[in-house]
């Protein structure tokens, strides 16, 4: 297993639409394992393959709380097939370090995907996991949470983020 480098906005790979995974090979399984290790090390609650520079439709998530057992989900070619309600929680992203903002999302979603054994899975969920699925599937469509901000808020973000990136580069 390996910890992979996470790309930061505005890396162009993050803005691309990812390709479907056509076959679940050993390479895909290894990639998924590395993504899981990278997500836990960050730490984060979700990671999409484009964030580590692989433009394929693969995400990993674990939204379990601190004192709960891990609830790891690896989803290949995930899609939202039903959604309802509204929520607006503060989100962050491993590809947008140091910035957090509230984003309008659906409160409940039904998601369909393949697992690593190529079985079709459907999950109906709400709360943090529902938000995380929407956030990670957005990544597969080249969309970041900051793309949901109003143009005024996005302008503020861009100014702040420039400083955040400068500070990060100084630390390296
Ligand atoms: Ni993200």
Determine the pLDDT at residue 168: 87
Q: Please give the distance, rounded to the nearest whole angstrom, from the Cα atom of residue 24 to the centre of ligand 1.
A: 23
Q: What are 38-86's pLDDT values in tens digits?
A: 999 999 999 999 999 999 999 999 999 889 999 999 999 999 999 999 9
Q: Please give the distance, rounded to the nearest whole angstrom, from the Cα atom of residue 95 to the centre of ligand 1.
A: 6
Domains of the chain: 12-171 (3.90.45.10)
Q: Please give the distance, rounded to the nearest whole angstrom, from the Cα atom of residue 44 to the centre of ligand 1.
A: 9
Determine the pLDDT at residue 68: 92
Catalytic residue numbers read: 136
Cα–Cα distance, 89 to 128 (Å, whole number): 8
Q: Please give the distance, rounded to the nearest whole angstrom, from the Cα atom of residue 129 to the centre of ligand 1.
A: 13
Mean pLDDT in residue range 2-28: 97
Asked if 45 and 65 touch (Cβ cutoff 8 Å), the reply is: no
Distance of CA 9 to the CA centre of its chain: 13
Write out the DSSP string of 15-73.
GSPPBPP-S--HHHHHHHHHHHHHHHHTT-SEEEGGGGT--BSEEEE----TTSPP--E
């Amino acid at each position: 297993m390996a910890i992979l480098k996470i790309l930061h906005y505005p890396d162009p790979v993050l803005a691309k639409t990812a390709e479907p995974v056509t076959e679940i090979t050993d390479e895909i399984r290894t990639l998924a394992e590395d993504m899981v290790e990278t997500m836990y090390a960050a730490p984060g609650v979700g990671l999409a393959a484009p964030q580590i520079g692989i433009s394929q439709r693969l995400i990993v998530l674990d939204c379990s709380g601190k004192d709960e057992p891990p609830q790891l989900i690896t989803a290949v070619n995930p899609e939202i097939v039903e959604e309802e309600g509204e929520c607006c929680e503060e989100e962050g992203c491993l590809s947008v370090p140091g910035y957090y903002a509230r984003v309008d999302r659906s409160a409940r979603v039904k998601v369909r995907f393949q697992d690593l054994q190529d079985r079709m899975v459907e999950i109906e969920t709400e709360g943090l996991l529902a938000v995380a699925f929407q956030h990670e599937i957005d990544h597969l469509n080249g969309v970041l949470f900051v793309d949901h901000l109003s143009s005024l808020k996005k302008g503020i973000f861009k100014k702040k983020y420039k400083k955040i990136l400068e500070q990060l580069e100084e630390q390296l």
